[in-house]
Amino acid sequence: MLQNKYILLVFRLIVGGVFIWAGVSKIVDPLSFAQDVRSYQLVGQTLSFLTALFLPWVELIAGVWLIAGIYPRASAMLISCLLAFFIILVAITIARGLNVECGCFGTFSRRADIWLIVEDSIWLILSLILLFSPGNDFGLLKKQSNNP
């Protein structure tokens, strides 16, 4: 896919930074995020609360690991899966005619609409490029060469 290690680094910084921001903004106010999850009307109160406690930490860790180059492909895969889920969730929400805040960035969230799908699709494309592009020249964990 993409070979330029500097462009890949920029993509890692951008996508990882977005997920760190998203995770931290939810971690600081889990009750508000639980309410955002509940507003989608797909799960009950208990599962909304558990999601609000668990999901932000997954986002934060995936973002940090992506930027640091710790398991970068696994991090890119996890982020890609999360983004695909978010896109489907927002599309279903729009189709159901619900007017909800996305809950994406805590108090900085906005309405779940078609523009959110477009934005998440851009993040998804970047994360898929990271997933399928070779090399990890800027990672903390590099493969060790077997050559003496």
**Average model confidence (pLDDT) across the chain:** 87
Residue 142 pLDDT > 80, yes or no? Answer: no
**Predicted confidence band of residue 145 (pLDDT cuts 50, 70, 90):** very low
Residue 89 buriedness (CB in 10 A; 0-12 / 13-18 / 19+)? middle
pTM, rounded to two decimals: 0.86
Alpha-helical (H) ranges within the chain are 5-27, 30-39, 45-68, 72-95, 114-132
Taking residues 16-22, what's their average pLDDT? Answer: 96
What does the alpha-carbon distance between residue 117 and residue 19 come to, in Å, rounded to a whole number? Answer: 16
